[in-house]
Amino acid sequence: MSDEMFSARIVPVVVLHDAKDAEPLGRALIAGGLPVAEVTFRTAAAVESIRAMSAIEGLIVGAGTVLNPAQVEQALEAGASFIVSPGLRRDVVFAAQAAGIPVLPGAVTPSEIMAAQELGLDTVKFFPANVYGGAGAIKALSAPFGGMRFVPTGGVSVSNLSDYLSLGCVPAVGGSWMVPVDAIREGAFAQVSELCAGAVAAAAAIGK
């Protein structure tokens, strides 16, 4: 799987209620040194937001909370370059694989991880990480599943970042703390850039 979206080791999980915010948000992410966004299909603005952000040079834009193959097609058509799903659905994985783009399905149990392996995947989303045992659970799962990588999301913050990023099987974490919905709604994009810069600095300070 191409690891481009993991370069900064943090993937901002973005919820946009209004597609007009997508472009300034994308620029704020770049300004903060975090040129990647997982735009979630939790709002009706997702597709247009992905389209607007995909047009920004240097920004890696993916789709999150993708629940079915129809949403994979919508995301692809809008320009998404990776797909994230909270769970493992074969037809979602197949649709992304057919398009040749990375797909990160959710898997938190041994059986789900084995199902991901069966589909040829070596990286899964571990969500909600804070509920399913956090870094301790990932560490335990990495014993039987040596080749598997985990991207924890859900409850990740600057305060527990090092618990996750210090694990060799964690290429990156996902989180929304640097893209607060209120800040976006208020147009406080400088604040978003600052939060991104803080997140990037915190990740860079953590050894692997």
Q: Return the structure tokens found at 125.
A: 């989303």
Q: Give whole-number Cα distances, 82 to 45, 66, 70, 122, 195, in Å.
A: 18, 11, 15, 15, 23
Q: Which of 72, 141, 156, 172 binds ligand 3PG (CB under 6 A)?
A: 156
Q: Where are the alpha helices (DSSP H) in the chain?
A: 22-31, 46-54, 69-78, 90-99, 110-118, 134-142, 161-165, 181-185, 189-204
| Coil, strand or helix at 106 | strand
| Coil, strand or helix at 116 | helix
| Active-site residue, from 48, 118, 125, 186 | 125
176 in contact with ligand 3PG (CB under 6 A): yes
Of 27-35, 89-97, 135-143, 150-158: span binding ligand 3PG (CB under 6 A): 150-158
Task: For the beta carbon of residue 24, count every other beta carbon within 10 angstroms.
Answer: 14
Shortest distance, CB of residue 174 to ligand 3PG, whole angstroms? 5
Q: Return the structure tokens found at 102.
A: 């990375």
Site string (30-49) toward ligand 3PG, x via CB under 6 A: ----------x---------
| Active-site residue, from 4, 23, 38, 57 | 38
175 in contact with ligand 3PG (CB under 6 A): yes
Choose between 6 and 127: whose C-beta lies nearer to ligand 3PG. Answer: 127
Choose between 32 and 175: whose C-beta lies nearer to ligand 3PG. Answer: 175
**38 among known catalytic residues:** yes
Cβ atoms of 35 and 12 within 8 Å: the answer is no
Site string (92-131) toward ligand 3PG, x via CB under 6 A: -----------------------------------x----
Q: Which of 54, 85, 153, 193 binds ligand 3PG (CB under 6 A)?
A: 153
- Cα–Cα distance for residue pair 119/16, rounded to 1 Å: 31
- Orientation of helix 46-54 relative to helix 22-31, angle to 10°: 50
Choose between 87 and 144: whose C-beta lies nearer to ligand 3PG. Answer: 87
174 in contact with ligand 3PG (CB under 6 A): yes
Contact positions toward ligand 3PG, by CB under 6 A? 13, 40, 64-65, 127, 153-156, 174-177
List, by residue number, the catalytic residues: 38, 125
